[in-house]
């Protein structure tokens, strides 16, 4: 086993240290935290499955997103409606059957929410409890990343990497599933840097800020937080969009892990040790 700090050019096939323990701890803690927050957040959304822009929003106001059920010519159907365009989602969203075989008329099904039975109060308890874990974890991880040089060394995008030719090359390499080999596999590509930076400095902080903006208590000590988003309902919409942005990142992340070699990738995030892919033969 080789520590890359002790060798200037580790070769493909060697076992090297890749992730430090703070990164591994934050990664798995965040995975659990975001899963609980997503599922409890869907329970909260079920209480009023509509999204608006502005300060106020109620049943008879114009919503840009709706999830529900309605009667049609062939009976009742579940639907999702975005900006006036409606899609049938019967059996999945809006109208579905629970574990006891009973028809339910709620936005998200029982298997996607915490708790599985409808309870706005319990959903809020879970959501707010793990919101503290999310905020504290992000703050500590960013502080460690600055002190340890993780952001400067691994996330910072250089001027050369911003060149269109470099970006296009990286896009083509990913599209062809040509992943770095040898020592190059220890460095993030520019697309990875952009994705991780978007999560660390965009989606996660925005989730926390919009969560605060939706809280009535925030108006008492920092009304500007809500005003920045144009109102509480706008903050709720941005919160929802960012949540699904994180889901999209998670799906892409899992796909890339599977394509790059799941056992090796997961081992590196559990133990810190990573086997460098062997160099391609010319």
pTM of the shown model: 0.90
Q: Which residues share a beta bridge with 79?
A: 68, 88
Give 14-36 pLDDT, tens digit per residue.
899 999 999 999 999 999 999 99
* List of residues 6+ apart from 186 with CB closer than 8 A: 4, 10, 16, 18, 274, 276
The structure tokens listed for 56 are 């106020």
List, as own/partner pairs, every contact residues 69-76 make where C-beta atoms lie below 8 angstroms and the sequence separation is at least 24, other chains included: 69/94, 69/95, 69/105
| Per-residue pLDDT at 6 | 47
Q: Give counts: helices (H), strands (E), the chain.
A: 10, 8
Helix (H) or strand (E) holding 97: strand 96-97
Give 28-81 pLDDT, tens digit per residue.
999 999 999 999 999 999 999 999 999 999 988 999 999 999 988 778 999 999
Give 206-265 pLDDT, tens digit per residue.
999 999 999 988 888 899 999 999 999 999 999 999 999 999 999 999 999 999 999 999
First to last CA, the chain: 27
Residue 115 · residue 36 · CB < 8 Å: no
Residue 241 · residue 68 · CB < 8 Å: no
The structure tokens listed for 282 are 């010319």
């Amino acid at each position: 086993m080789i520590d890359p700090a002790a060798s200037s050019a580790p070769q493909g096939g060697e076992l090297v240290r890749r992730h430090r323990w703070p990164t591994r701890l934050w990664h798995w803690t965040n995975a659990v935290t975001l899963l609980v927050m997503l599922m409890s957040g869907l329970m909260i959304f079920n209480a009023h499955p509509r999204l608006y822009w502005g300060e106020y929003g109620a049943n008879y106001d114009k919503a840009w997103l709706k999830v529900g059920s309605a009667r049609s010519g062939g009976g009742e159907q579940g639907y999702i409606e975005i900006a006036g365009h409606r899609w049938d989602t019967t059996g999945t969203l809006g109208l579905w059957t629970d574990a006891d075989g009973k028809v339910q008329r709620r936005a998200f099904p029982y298997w996607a929410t915490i708790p599985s039975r409808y309870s706005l109060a319990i959903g809020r308890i879970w959501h707010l409890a793990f919101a503290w874990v999310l905020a504290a974890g992000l703050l500590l991880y960013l502080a460690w990343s600055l002190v340890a040089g993780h952001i400067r060394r691994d996330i910072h995008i250089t001027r050369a990497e911003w060149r269109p030719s470099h970006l296009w090359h990286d896009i083509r390499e990913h599209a062809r599933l040509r992943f770095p080999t040898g020592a190059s596999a220890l460095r993030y590509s520019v697309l990875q840097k952009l994705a991780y930076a978007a999560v660390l400095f965009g989606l996660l902080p925005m989730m926390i800020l919009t969560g605060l903006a939706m809280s009535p208590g925030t108006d008492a000590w920092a009304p500007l937080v809500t005003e920045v988003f144009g109102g509480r309902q706008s903050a709720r919409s941005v919160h929802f969009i960012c949540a699904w942005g994180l889901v999209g990142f998670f799906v892409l992340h899992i796909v890339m892990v599977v394509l790059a070699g799941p056992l090796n990738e997961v081992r590196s995030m559990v133990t810190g040790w990573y086997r460098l892919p062997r160099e391609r033969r010319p």
